[in-house]
Amino acid sequence: MTDEGTILYETPAGGVARITMNRPRQRNAQSVRMTYELNDAFDRAAQDDAVKVIILAGSDPHFSAGHDLRDRSSPGEHRTVGTWSGFDLAGAEGYLAREEEIYLGMCRRWRSIPKPTIAQVQGKCIAGGLMLAWICDLIVASDDAQFQDPVVQMGVCGVEYFAHPWELGARKAKEMLFTADWLGAADAHRLGMVNHVVPRAELAAFTLAMARRIAEKPSFALKLAKEAVNQTLEAQGQWAAMLAAFNLHHLCHSHNMQVHGMLIDPAGIRI
């Protein structure tokens, strides 16, 4: 196991890399630093020809509490991966660039890794945590896993990587957003968002066993099978829809800045 700071990287079986978000005291909330260290770990696994399957996990007790809203560091402090810049410019210009780089752009990049990825989800998976699970090809959840996107109550239409209708169907996506209610693992499985639900004590072993079965397949066929499914979603308009939702997301931020003097409605934080 290699400690990458906020990320642990290991190869628990032949052909399998496991990347673990390791900010347990912050419930694996995504700081800018962790985002870039996670990206480095994904790059490491993607560029290692011996790795055929990638597992994304979160150190206990929870998979991810979402974005670290207390983090004020800039993407400009890191080696950026996109072409957007001007992260510290005033107004919507700077904040749009920031979220294009560290949220939408990163998720798009990770979703397109040409190797199967599996999210290993336990406990709470909130807002930005959903984005991390949704970029993976498969999701295995513990029976106590719970999913939530509460950002509508913060005055924003949804998280940046807006995959809700694709993951849940239109009506359940609207319910999740409108109510901010928790979605349990069993319901997430019933709706097709989660592939398997297992007892928490068996989560890591089950996920690893699945990864090992996948790793037995030819790597090129795995890559092209993933590409075939992703291209089908693209042909259905998935990316164009996400871009449109991302623009609405930033309209919400701009509105909140005018009305509340901050990017989110402060009333939503206290709910």
pLDDT tens track for 112-157: 999 999 999 999 999 999 999 999 999 999 999 999 999 999 999 9
Q: Which residues contact 216 (CB under 8 A, 6 or more apart)?
A: 15
**221-255: per-residue pLDDT in tens?**
999 999 999 999 999 999 999 999 999 999 999 99
Say whether pLDDT at 2 is over 60. Answer: no
DSSP labels, 166-204: HHH-HHHHHHHHHH---EEHHHHHHTTS-SEEE-GGGHH
Q: What is the per-residue pLDDT for 3?
A: 52
Is the pLDDT assigned to residue 57 strictly greater than 50?
yes
Residue-level pLDDT at 271? 47
In this prediction the pTM is 0.95
Residue 265 has pLDDT above 50, yes or no: yes
From start to end of 103-253, where are the E strands? 117-121, 124-126, 138-142, 146-148, 183-184, 196-198
pLDDT at 270: 62
The residue written with tokens 């990163």 in the block is: 106
- Classify each residue of 124-146 as buried b or exposed e, where b means 16 or more C-beta atoms within 10 Å of its C-beta: bbbbbbbbbbbbbbbbbbbbebb
CA 144, chain centre distance (Å): 19
- For domain 2-270, the CATH architecture is Alpha-Beta Complex (3.90)
Q: How far is CA 230 from CA 100, 113, 150, 168, in A?
A: 21, 11, 27, 17
The Cα-based distances of 247 to 37, 89, 90 in angstroms read 27, 18, 18
pLDDT confidence of residue 69: 84
Where along the chain do its domains lie? Answer: 2-270
